Structure 1
Amino acid sequence: MNTSSSSSGAERAAESSIRIGALAPLTRPGWVEAGRHLIAGLELAVHEVNDAGGIAGRPLELVVRDTAADPQKAAAAVDELAGLGVTALVGEYHSVVARAAAARADALGLPFLCSSAVLDELTERPTEWVARLAPAQSHGWRIYADFLLRAGHSRIAVAVQPSVYWASGTRVLRDHLAPRGGTVIELDMLALTPAAVCDALVRDRATALLLLVGHPEPAASIVTSVRRDPRLGEIMIGAPAGQPESAEWATLLGDDGVAIPFLRYLPEVLSPLGARVETALRERLAEAPSFVAFEGYDTIAVLADALRSHGTDRARVAEAWPHVAVEGTRGWIRFSRTPGISVRQWVWAPVQIVDRDPAEPGRLRVLHSG
């Protein structure tokens, strides 16, 4: 009798909440640290929405699923979450995984607010069901390419693993650099060892090497080999996808991991809202929050606005994307249609190029804001 009553109460509580499906890489081979920061941002914003009375008196409830950087696992999670009755889908860090989730959400008619993935063509066809906060890869990586040219690098090697994401990044770099006198030299990491990468850099007279590879491996091994090769003392190592932001990176590489520029999506100075959220995120994470944590927070801020203005029907939530105007932690967020991008897009989140300071490896220094 008591068990039945308790079960019924739990069911009523679940029915009264607005369930939001959340995808994130929480186990290997996913970038677990990024997943943890993403969930921390989502959870903080959900907590604040609920403390303020929820959505028309109904609390938000996150239903989290681990994607482990696996597109098939993500697609299956979308199916499961849709069956559980979630109102919308949020999250995901890895672009290829987010693309699988977006395709499934589009097919099911489930609104998906993608927090962090940057691949331009997140869906194969234009869709009204998907919106995105992170800048498109073509936008951020062009800024990175211009940074390389200003630093005097025109012969740029890219250590590449097979992936739609890495192939897209290589194409963006080549298309942007070639008309400006730059050359992109591809190094196939299926065929080369880290030591062989060093030989190729010398042979090809590259002045910069970009790591378009997984973290921690083979990225860490490549960095170690290059840093310790006396022939390559002047070469710049870069990582536009952001591997050096990870605390694990600093632990693994120490001084070898400094002065490796990467992209992140934060303003030069946080607004009062951003500063308050940074403090709360730091307390939750027990470390400095990455930009991914801010993306998580902003995701819920946007979704809560859509739910308040348009209600909880899935189609109505998707209809809200063009009408969003929300103060996020990194600026005002509005979505628009952008040529070459298949989803509703925030144009644009702020972009920085930063690295770990050689004088203080635990500190990130801003090299450029775009």
Structure 2
Amino acid sequence: MSASAPSPLLALDEAQARLIAGVAPLPAEPLALVDACDRWLAQDVIAGRTQPAADLSAMDGYATRADDQAGPWRVVGESAAGHPWPDALAPGTAVRLSTGALMPPGDGAVLLQENALRDGDLLALAGADGPTPRHIRRKGFDFAAGDTVLAAGTRLSPARIALGLMSGTSGVLVHRHPRLAIIDSGDELAADPAAALPHQIPASNGAMLAAMTAPLAEAVRLGPVPDRLDALINAFEAAAGCDVIVTSGGASVGDHDLVRPALEAWSAQIDFWRIALRPGKPLLVASKGDRHILGLPGNPVSSHVTATLFLLPLLRALAGSRQPFPLPVMLPLADPLPAVGNRTEFFRARRHGSGIAPISERDSSALRALSQADALIRREAGSPPAEKGTPVPVYWLENGGNA
């Protein structure tokens, strides 16, 4: 092969593996747990308390002794949430219970409210179902003091924040979010979408990428940057304090595609360029020192797909995720798909009952079709046509699913 011949296109899976090879999570910092949503834990969260801390009633009703099944009983008090009854029950006595209330000390049972007949302080069975321990939430059934309730590398979701708080934790050690610079490049881009002239298009990719990465990074937008080598180098220099630099546009092979020459002039090291992917073939991955650089295609669908498959996983890995790549689910096709050429292809799609329906529009500039998509369907290079009902791997998009 001659020196000027293009190198073979890199397979998608190999490109993704090379992207995060050697990527280490960013340094950790302490943060209040309530402020740590969408951060990844840098160390385990160990429970400082047992939950429940004592036996609780799971239902409204009455507490009786476990060996006192037939009744009648005399109601001697109440145990409400936050206001426990302190004494063990004597034979023939009961205590009114509300859901979440502590059971009285001793071996107890719960008579459901709908199975009880009360007249003043006298309590009797209203049916065949008597008191049972089945409606007791036992001490420690959720977790016990000393348990690891959240492991390092876990992303803190709202439910996990609640779990951490319930475990007695108020502060956590989390990895710092990456600092991200987003550079729109292209002479055709208009910063004001309402003022775009016929030979221009609104600069929408930068805003799209900023929205996609908002939960994962602290982003700054630069541009639009004109198609000039010096302008791009100046933009890279302005972004030099960031952990990740991502460009949109200018990564292909045209006379005005200057991202690669500008990176080389800026002394960045090109890892790979151009992958066997549709849409998204012109993807570029580079580095300079400890800065990671991605050059995404300018067509908005290509930019979105490559951000989903490369930019978001890179940010997750830097933020501490141990599983940074989206995981597919298998769903049956609601409509057939055509054969695939020599590149792995991702089709825009949307939910359709229990299956997935591909969107017919495949042009990489068609934003309306992208905005209607819940997911991407992955089809391997060389795949034959797929009939309706064929199971296919589906990646949920952040705007419609759980990528």
TM-score by length of 2: 0.27
Q: Which structure dedicates a bigger proportion of its chain to helix?
A: 1
TM-score by length of 1: 0.29
Q: Which structure dedicates a bigger proportion of its chain to strand?
A: 2
- Answer with 1 or 2: which has the greater Rg: 2
